[in-house]
Structure 1
Amino acid sequence: MRYPDIPLPLPASGFVLSQHLNDSDPLLAIGRFDASRYHDELCGQWCLPLPPRLQKAVKKRRAEYLASRVLARQIMARLGHSGFILHNAADRSPLWPAGIQASLSHSDSVVVVAATSRSLCVGVDVEQKMTAETAHETAGMLMCAAEKAYLHTLPLDFSLAATLLFSLKESVYKALWPQLHQPMDFHQAELIQMDLASQCATLQLTHRFSETFKEGCLLQAEFLLQDKYVITLVTHDGKNRLSGQAKPV
């Protein structure tokens, strides 16, 4: 995955620090913001009102909401939907324009959006690097024994490797949710291959969700490793590709 390098226009404030776009398909955009500079008046100025459920939320949550909507509006304009305001369905999933497949994620001071007009499943995620303690405490919930052994073979400290795996599985879940509307356990997708040089990974489902997304279905991912966080992107064209592999390689 290439880090976005095309600058996007910034709204006039010190709240949004940067926004950059990758001219890929799906489009990938990353924005950075300073939550300490958020104030509610910005929502009115930028015509992105807070929904009722967030009007009494903590400042950090309101800042994440505004930063993500600013970036989403920029990306939707690139896809022919100017003035778009991202709302959420009853299940809290984002409601994108008809004909658009997209995904959004935010963590601390970073927001990421991936979007396409092609018929693709799209899931994107950004995660702050886990502490070593958190990585070891959550290993049993996040990974099987074979995945854990595989992560220990990578030239990454375990906390970063665990964060990357967590993010990959979050992106899988986000990519599949609009198609399936089914909850997903971390052990229902398994990492089978990772190439740090090309920043690509392959996961396979270990559970049958549907005729298309059945056990053994392969899912391709890209990722970025930054100093304090990781970004992952999973796309799938809906075709049923199966693997005979059952364990990480």
Structure 2
Amino acid sequence: MPTQLLTGCFCILSFFAIGQAVPQNHEKVVANQSLLSQIVQSQNEDKLALLNELSQVVYHEHALNYDSIANETMKLAIHLKVWPVAFEQGSHLMHYYLDSLIQPKRALAIFDDLKPNVTELKNEQLLGTYYLNGSNAHYFLRDYGQSLDLTNMALPLLKTPDNQTLLSKCYFRLGGIHAKLSNYDQAHSYYFESLKIDESLQDERGVAVNLEKIGEIYLLTSDYEKAESNFHKAIATYTKLNDGKGI
């Protein structure tokens, strides 16, 4: 394993050990320090498994240095050719850069790092998620053609009963792309597909967002009565959620 990779791991892990980004109780700190000790003493695949575990912990705890740890985990997984871990970490990173930091160029850099190895990955859900995150990065950069191509690559990979949440996100992204391209009939069709899935999953936030987007399509096509109806439904759903987000 390259010396600089190990050095990077140890520096990042040492930072994590002495300073948490969010408050933790004593049991969590002790558990994380125990995990760090195991990482330092382990080799190769064992080290990757422990790094992967630590990355999951800090991701869910919203630690500020999550991306550094996840990056090192992804690099080690690529080095060891453990493709499921590499792509899972990469997809989490892309989502983090897009959703939490609003930095699509950093997300796209992760996408490009993994791109040479896509033929090595046999897990369709991970591959579909990878393409979808890449699509989202291109969408935020207003590269709608590339975003469309990647979403269409993700869509057939995620059309399974176990991937309904991701499938809804695919349809939602297709709706957004076609809306940007002024293909309003197609945009409406894809938003409606996303809406149906979110209703079946009882995902009220997804339902509200799709109703809002469908209302926008009706507004853009001058069907004001249907636009108003969908906006009212969206407002009612957002209000029921009562979390300060949405309309």
* Shared fold, TM over 0.5: no
Whichever structure has more strand as a proportion of its residues is 1
Whichever structure has more helix as a proportion of its residues is 2
Q: TM-score, normalised by structure 2?
A: 0.29
Q: Tell me which structure has the larger Cα radius of gyration.
A: 2
Structure with bigger RCO (C-alpha 8 Å, 6+ apart): 1
